[in-house]
Amino acid sequence: MNVAEHRFGRIVACVAALGLALGAGACGPDDAREPQDDPVEQASEPIVVVASVNQWGSLAEQIGGEDVQVTSIVNTTAVDAHDFEPQTADVAALQQAEVVVSNGAGYDAWATASLTGDAASVSAAETVGAMTGDNPHLWFSKDARNGMATELAEAFSKARPDKREEFESRLAAWKEQEAEVEQAMDDFSAAHPDATYAATEAVAYYLMSDLGFEDLTPQGYAQAAANEGEPAPADLQEFQELLESRGVDMLVNNTQQAGDTTNMITGTAGRAGVPVLDVSEQMPEDCADLTAWIASLVKSIDALFATDETADDATSGDATTGDGDGATTGDGTTAPSNEGQSDPAA
Ligand SMILES: [Zn+2]
């Protein structure tokens, strides 16, 4: 089975993954986190938590529940997270936080630049020992998520010792959900041990690694992208040829680092029939929480491969070469969104 054998459109988590997400929680309206109006629970004030980015802010909410009040400063997928500069109000919020939650590894140095002595700091990079220069997209790493969940429960318990039991029980519930997602990842890598991909930017590096994918992004291109530079023409050419020859099963496109170069690359993937997975840096607004986001991405990737198997069966014996424009059939009714299936360069 070769996923690159078939034409797919692009899929976007979490929208495309509705109905596919794990029982742990789908993206979409959050009906799982109802505030409890228990008067006993309001005995102590919620902990004021400020997170640099919404994916870690979401995890803080998952662990803190009604006992935290979380503000996420970068809270949209519509910005370039790598170049974010906080406003005065953002800095003020950080200075008033009891717990500051950051990513670290150079991703959000502004978040901890003005830490006061009073605030507790929880950093994903510190949790897993990542340094500036390492791939900073740590929320996509299962190790970092698990480490952060534990650190957050600990920091919250220190801030409100009387709530320790609540934090620990939410941590246990979170770990069950996370384990479910990781099981799905293990199932995927067992079913697709030779999966390969290339990426416009290494945003999903840890996720793809956890899924057992081999990264075949041309090195020169990858280095330029990591340094937010323009790739050399030869590197770009190499990338284009990799896609044209369907040398990878999937292209990961960072929608928050989009530009002319990445548009050219996704266009080439579209023409070659290499499926494109759009991944943002920040958690999309329609995702209930970090776990649901990761689950939906895993489901989306799995669906791309599973759809390919279905499509191969459905089109076997078909006399056409199957690469013409227009009404390609055989995708099956359960295929993810085929938005963007048409030739982007047409
Ligand atoms: Zn990035």
Structural domains of the chain, ranges and CATH numbers in brackets: 3-24+194-315 (3.40.50.1980), 45-183 (3.40.50.1980)
| 164 C-beta neighbours (distance < 10 Å), count | 14
Q: Rounded distance, CA 117 to CA 226, Å? A: 33
Question: What is d(CA 33, CA 50) in angstroms, rounded to the nearest whole number?
Answer: 19
| Ligand 1 midpoint to CA 203 (Å) | 5
Question: The whole model's pTM is what?
Answer: 0.80
- Whole-number Å distance, alpha carbon 80 to ligand 1 midpoint, is 8
User: Cα(112) to centroid of ligand 1, in Å?
Assistant: 19
Q: How far is the CA of 202 from the centre of ligand 1 (A)?
A: 7
281 band by pLDDT with thresholds 50, 70 and 90? very high
Q: How many angstroms separate the alpha carbon of residue 79 from the centre of ligand 1?
A: 11
Assign 41 a pLDDT band (cuts: 50, 70, 90).
very low
Give 61 Cα–ligand 1 centroid separation in angstroms.
23
pLDDT tens profile 53-109: 999 999 999 999 999 999 999 999 998 888 899 999 999 999 999 999 999 999 999
Peptide bond into 27 cis (omega under 30): no
Q: How far is the CA of 190 from the centre of ligand 1 (A)?
A: 28
Place of tokens 């956890």: 210
Output the CA 324–ligand 1 centroid distance in Å.
34
What is the Å distance from ligand 1's center to 141 Cα? 14
Q: What is the pLDDT of the chain when averaged over all its residues? A: 83
Residue 31 has pLDDT above 50, yes or no: no
Q: How many Å lie between the centroid of ligand 1 and the Cα of residue 137?
A: 6
Contacts of 76 (CB under 8 A, 6+ apart): 54, 282, 285
What torsion, rounded to 10 degrees, do the Cα atoms 137, 138, 140, 142 define? 160
Taking the C-alpha atoms of residue 64 and residue 72, their distance in angstroms, rounded to an integer, is 14
Question: For residue 241, what pLDDT is reported?
Answer: 98
- 328 CA distance to ligand 1 middle (Å): 34
* CA 94–ligand 1 middle distance (angstroms): 22
pLDDT, position 166: 98
> What is the DSSP pairing of strand 276-279 with strand 250-254?
parallel
Mean local confidence (pLDDT), 295-313: 79
pLDDT at 27: 61
- 8 A C-beta contact, residue 261 and residue 236: yes
Distance 55 CA to ligand 1 centre (A): 13
> What spacing in Å lies between the alpha carbon of 14 and ligand 1's midpoint?
18
Residue 332, pLDDT above cutoff 80:
no
Q: Which of 342, 309, 340 is nearest to 11 (CA)?
A: 340
Distance 243 CA to ligand 1 centre (A): 22
Residues 170, 176: Cα–Cα separation, whole Å? 10
Least confident of 25-39, 128-142, 280-294: 25-39
**Ligand 1 centre and the CA of 69: distance in Å?**
27
Least confident range from 24-38, 154-168, 195-209, 242-256: namely: 24-38
CA 284 to ligand 1 center in whole angstroms: 15
Q: Check residue 314 and give its pLDDT.
A: 44
What separation in Å is there between the alpha carbon of 253 and the centre of ligand 1?
Answer: 11
Residue 346 predicted with pLDDT over 70:
no
